[in-house]
């Protein structure tokens, strides 16, 4: 049996409402659909939480976690604790230049940041 490894994509979120939808849509649009997206809201004061909850309701591959503002490293660590994929990578809404230029976020089959 040739099973593809699942990829956990952790997205730390802090006051990201302006770009968050584009970030999530870019990840959901990847060729590899064997993914889980872990959105970790790091105490946002904007509409980021509402956006995350909407996506969580719409797609079973999305997990949503809310924490008090603790910084991006804490958000990533909490996401890693909840990850169930064989591969883990990070995405963030700040790195939207390639998305805004019409390019996909990354080719998940060939690139990664952290392996656990």
Q: Which tens digit of pLDDT belongs to each residue from 10-27?
A: 999 999 998 899 889 988
pLDDT at 94: 64
Q: What is the pTM of this model?
A: 0.81
Residue 111 has pLDDT above 60, yes or no: no
Q: How far is it, in rounded angstroms, from Cα 11 to Cα 8?
A: 10
Q: Which residue has the higher pLDDT, 80 or 94?
A: 80
DSSP E strands: which ranges in 25-72? Answer: 35-42, 62-67
């Amino acid at each position: 049996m040739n099973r593809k490894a699942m990829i956990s994509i952790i997205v730390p979120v802090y006051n990201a409402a302006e770009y968050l939808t584009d970030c999530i849509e870019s990840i959901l649009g990847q060729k590899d659909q064997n993914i889980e997206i872990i959105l970790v809201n790091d105490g946002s004061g904007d509409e980021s939480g509402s956006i995350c909850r909407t996506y969580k309701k719409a797609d079973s591959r999305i997990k949503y976690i809310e924490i008090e503002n603790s910084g991006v490293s804490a958000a990533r660590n909490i996401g890693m604790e909840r990850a169930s994929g064989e591969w883990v990578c990070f995405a963030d809404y700040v790195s939207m230049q390639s998305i805004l230029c019409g390019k996909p976020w990354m080719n998940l089959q060939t690139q990664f940041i952290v392996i656990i």
